[in-house]
Amino acid sequence: MTQPPILVLDLDGTLVDTAPDLMAALNVCLTQEGLRNMSLEESIAMIGAGARALLERGLAATGAQRTKAETDALFEVFLDHYTAHIADMSRPYPGVVDAIDHFASRGWKIAVCTNKLEGLSRSLLRALAIEGRFAAVGGGDTFPVRKPDPRHLRETIALAGGDPARAVMVGDSETDIATGKNAGIPVVAVDFGYTTVHVREYGPERIISHFRDLPDAVASLPGFAGL
């Protein structure tokens, strides 16, 4: 049986605006340590490599030094708070659900490939009532590798049952674009996500500013017209 085409989306900064809740969890940890809190702008610049990296970057930004054991304990505080408040302020970006439904109605598989832990990713998608739209969620701990390793994307595609030769990655960062390039899969980049450098600098195949433009952007890719 022929495998269907597949749309693979990054989560934080692409599918869902999660920065406010991630910032809140980070600041709970920093407050506990008597350290200054991060602004939303500062927090956005730290997102993309997973929750542990966010915490470590937040600590580093304050000039604080903590042992591995101390950071491990703080990470548990972060996870406890974030899990309990994972969708207090996080929301899907405008038009993203309609775009997903557009592709699904045409027989595409839809998947998530994120460096966020799989359990947290699923909890977030479930809280937002959209988990059922995805054939697979490839989280930061789902496989032995994570983005920008191309195997993270390829394994997510395989898990979803999609056709790797008819796959499109959608992301917001250098990491997402590098992952697609490393895997030989075209990338449509959103220009409203979590990057301090405009995504055009990383050379994605297409750039969109709203998810309503995603179908046309994908259709304009070589080999994707009519899909």
| Residue 141 falls in the annotated catalytic set | no
Q: How confident is the model at residue 73 (pLDDT cuts 50, 70, 90)?
A: very high
Mean pLDDT for 24-51 is 92
Q: How confident is the model at residue 48 (pLDDT cuts 50, 70, 90)?
A: confident
Mean pLDDT for 16-28 is 96
What does the pLDDT read at residue 1?
64
Mean pLDDT for 113-136 is 96
Mean pLDDT for 148-175 is 97
Residue 182 has pLDDT above 90, yes or no: yes
Q: What's the per-residue H, E or C state across the chain?
A: CCCCCEEEECCECCCEECHHHHHHHHHHHHHHCCCCCCCHHHHHCCCCCCHHHHHHHHHHHHCCCCCHHHHHHHHHHHHHHHHHCCCCCCEECCCHHHHHHHHHHCCCEEEEECCCCHHHHHHHHHHCCCHHHCCEEECCCCCCCCCCCHHHHHHHHHHHCCCHHHEEEEECCHHHHHHHHHHCCCEEEECCCCCCCCHHHHCCCEEECCHHHHHHHHHCCCCCCCC
Q: How confident is the model at residue 227 (pLDDT cuts 50, 70, 90)?
A: confident
Q: Considering 10, 17, 172, 176, which one is annotated as catalytic?
A: 10
Mean pLDDT for 149-176 is 97
41-55, 140-154, 213-227: the lowest-pLDDT one: 41-55
Q: How confident is the model at residue 60 (pLDDT cuts 50, 70, 90)?
A: very high
Mean pLDDT for 34-57 is 91
Residue 187 has pLDDT above 70, yes or no: yes
Mean pLDDT for 205-213 is 98
Q: How confident is the model at residue 215 (pLDDT cuts 50, 70, 90)?
A: very high
pTM of the predicted structure, to 2 decimals: 0.92
Q: Which domains does the chain have, with CATH numbers?
A: 6-17+90-219 (3.40.50.1000), 19-84 (1.10.150.240)
